[in-house]
Chain A
């Protein structure tokens, strides 16, 4: 080993959330787990399309919005996929990263590595939240895009029949599909917030990933119990249907607005709790 030249620290611009966020994305890009999530987001719509293409009976998924039109236009494919993706697939893919992003670093001891640099704790937390949300958005966009593009190639980009029964041209269908995906992102981001909370407080990746999925499934179970119907408007699982309001003529904004504040009721306390825990925690891992 040779000698090092040691300089005195100088006044400088301090790194912040942007630096942490950038590196969180680079870390996600370097991890196999990220690609497993992306691969699933690609594979599931492809399997769905393949199953439809191979089914000569002309049948399709029943009792799901747009399921009657899956062989009429490719625009119906991502919309049906959104409906069945809410049961467990997309919450699971979201939890894969959100449930792991803090707990993994705590367990492996790298949290102490980054918390003894020049960034504040809240910078680190905010960077991780943004990275988890970015990954969630990427999974959703991939999931919808694959269904849309491949579905369109197979069945064409023909006009779409809305949930109100009106026909809209391909351009408007594309815009409404994008807007519907955006609305769908609200409850999915809320799942990410719950994953981040569990990741922070449990300090255990597996527990956080499974716990997040269980919260999502638990709400679906409650929604299925007719005696608890009064709770439906406030369940996270219900908000996964809010996007359908956009696919009506005229657009029904009520479920969208309710979804926004109901999701906020779940997500903001979850993130607040997680942040408080993260700021005050003893970093003992590794």
Chain B
């Protein structure tokens, strides 16, 4: 089956700046795919290339096997979404805006307007001019506009940005429901909690490059095996633990080390034999946020983010 999104070697330069640097992406059918990166990492530029809005300097992007640059609007069949904030005509009503985009879609899109408005809870304000809409209402109208295309692939660029907490919650619920109905979703975001909550696969980008691509669960599992230890005598405990695992880190209130379960048990026995009491032994898995910062922020050692270090 053809992947909903397949991008290979995408490069986009603006003068001296390389906004997107050899980006490869593969989004499979049914994925809720997080495209995660700090502001300026090239996320929006990548999405614009996927939708055929801008031309890559190198590489290609295919949606369900079709290249928007070569095949034009036909390549976007079954694809919908928005990049940056969805934009509409402020002097037209919400409904009129949807009628406009529906007429530019054809194929019965007009018949889906009422349902789409209902889906995003905008039916009551549909006859008001978009110029009077709040940011959140425009975001929801953007989703409604996307739903008119009855998409199999939905590309959303930071859909919760600027929304209040209730709006963010509602937007996430909506995305989850759409995904549950079988829609493939590419969600660009810099909000870790949002990606962790919604996505099953992620690409983490920084400075235009993909730093990690794969299953979110695997990424987080790769950080398992870290333990935090607090004892009645941390100095002596550090010596004992170091004899077993080699590398022990001093933290603000105790120790931390990497070990498997059997080795951790061996350390607890050794500490007991040395009459050192264990006040806490906590297995830790890094959060996506911790991994994200480790990957995207330059390390003191070499000035570059390192994936290997991040997943240690």
Q: Which of B102-139 contact A (CB under 8 A)?
A: 103-108, 115-116, 118-121
Contacts of A4 in B (CB 8 A): 115-116, 119, 147, 174, 177-178, 181
Q: B196 at the A/B interface (Cβ < 8 Å)?
A: no
Please determine whether A113 and B115 come into contact, CB atoms closer than 8 angstroms: no
- The one of A8, A30, A108, A116 that contacts B53, using a Cβ cutoff of 8 Å: A116
Give A1 Cβ to nearest chain B Cβ, in Å.
5
Please determine whether B92 and A27 come into contact, CB atoms closer than 8 angstroms: yes
Please determine whether B108 and A12 come into contact, CB atoms closer than 8 angstroms: yes
Q: B248 at the A/B interface (Cβ < 8 Å)?
A: no
Please determine whether A6 and B182 come into contact, CB atoms closer than 8 angstroms: yes
Please determine whether B106 and A13 come into contact, CB atoms closer than 8 angstroms: yes
Q: A62 at the A/B interface (Cβ < 8 Å)?
A: no
Please determine whether B150 and A9 come into contact, CB atoms closer than 8 angstroms: yes
Please determine whether B106 and A113 come into contact, CB atoms closer than 8 angstroms: no
Contacts of B173 in A (CB 8 A): 1
Please determine whether A119 and B87 come into contact, CB atoms closer than 8 angstroms: no
Contacts of A112 in B (CB 8 A): 48, 51, 53, 82-83, 87
Please determine whether A6 and B178 come into contact, CB atoms closer than 8 angstroms: yes
Q: Which of A106-134 contact B (CB under 8 A)?
A: 108-110, 112-121
Q: A218 at the A/B interface (Cβ < 8 Å)?
A: no
Q: A31 at the A/B interface (Cβ < 8 Å)?
A: yes
Docked complex Cα distance between A116 and B170 (Å):
25
Q: B54 at the A/B interface (Cβ < 8 Å)?
A: yes
Please determine whether A120 and B87 come into contact, CB atoms closer than 8 angstroms: no
Residue of B nearest to A119 (CB): B104
Please determine whether A15 and B54 come into contact, CB atoms closer than 8 angstroms: no
Docked complex Cα distance between A108 and B87 (Å):
7
Please determine whether B73 and A9 come into contact, CB atoms closer than 8 angstroms: no
- The one of A6, A20, A109 that contacts B104, using a Cβ cutoff of 8 Å: A20
Q: B88 at the A/B interface (Cβ < 8 Å)?
A: yes
- The one of B73, B85, B182 that contacts A119, using a Cβ cutoff of 8 Å: B73
Please determine whether B118 and A286 come into contact, CB atoms closer than 8 angstroms: no
- The one of B119, B145, B152 that contacts A2, using a Cβ cutoff of 8 Å: B119
Docked complex Cα distance between A240 and B287 (Å):
72
Q: B228 at the A/B interface (Cβ < 8 Å)?
A: no
Interface residues as binary, B91-107 with A (CB distance below 8 Å gives 1, 0 otherwise): 11000000011011111
Q: Which of A71-127 contact B (CB under 8 A)?
A: 108-110, 112-121
- The one of A27, A31, A108, A283 that contacts B54, using a Cβ cutoff of 8 Å: A283
Q: B151 at the A/B interface (Cβ < 8 Å)?
A: yes
Contacts of B81 in A (CB 8 A): 116
Q: B55 at the A/B interface (Cβ < 8 Å)?
A: yes
Contacts of B87 in A (CB 8 A): 108-110, 112-113, 286
Residue of B nearest to A4 (CB): B119
Q: B200 at the A/B interface (Cβ < 8 Å)?
A: no
Residue of B nearest to A283 (CB): B53
Docked complex Cα distance between A176 and B174 (Å):
64
Please determine whether B77 and A9 come into contact, CB atoms closer than 8 angstroms: yes
Interface residues as binary, A3-17 with B (CB distance below 8 Å gives 1, 0 otherwise): 111111110111100
Give A108 Cβ to nearest chain B Cβ, in Å.
6
Give B215 Cβ to nearest chain A Cβ, in Å.
24
Q: B38 at the A/B interface (Cβ < 8 Å)?
A: no
Give B106 Cβ to nearest chain A Cβ, in Å.
4
Please determine whether A12 and B104 come into contact, CB atoms closer than 8 angstroms: no
Docked complex Cα distance between A117 and B52 (Å):
11
Please determine whether B107 and A9 come into contact, CB atoms closer than 8 angstroms: yes
Give A103 Cβ to nearest chain B Cβ, in Å.
15
Q: B86 at the A/B interface (Cβ < 8 Å)?
A: yes
Interface residues as binary, B249-280 with A (CB distance below 8 Å gives 1, 0 otherwise): 00000000000000000000000000000000
Binding site for A on B (CB under 8 A): 48, 51-55, 72-74, 76-78, 80-89, 91-92, 100-101, 103-108, 115-116, 118-121, 140, 145, 147, 149-152, 170-171, 173-174, 177-178, 181-183
- A-B pairs with beta carbons under 8 Å apart, 22 shown: A4-B147, A5-B181, A6-B147, A6-B151, A6-B152, A7-B150, A9-B152, A12-B108, A13-B107, A22-B103, A31-B91, A109-B84, A110-B88, A112-B82, A113-B86, A113-B101, A114-B101, A118-B77, A121-B72, A280-B55, A284-B53, A284-B54
Binding site for B on A (CB under 8 A): 1-10, 12-15, 19-20, 22-23, 26-27, 30-32, 108-110, 112-121, 280, 282-284, 286
- Additional 15 contacts, C-beta under 8 A, given A9-B77, A280-B55, A286-B87: A2-B119, A6-B151, A6-B178, A7-B150, A19-B103, A23-B103, A27-B89, A30-B91, A108-B87, A110-B87, A110-B88, A110-B89, A112-B83, A115-B53, A118-B76
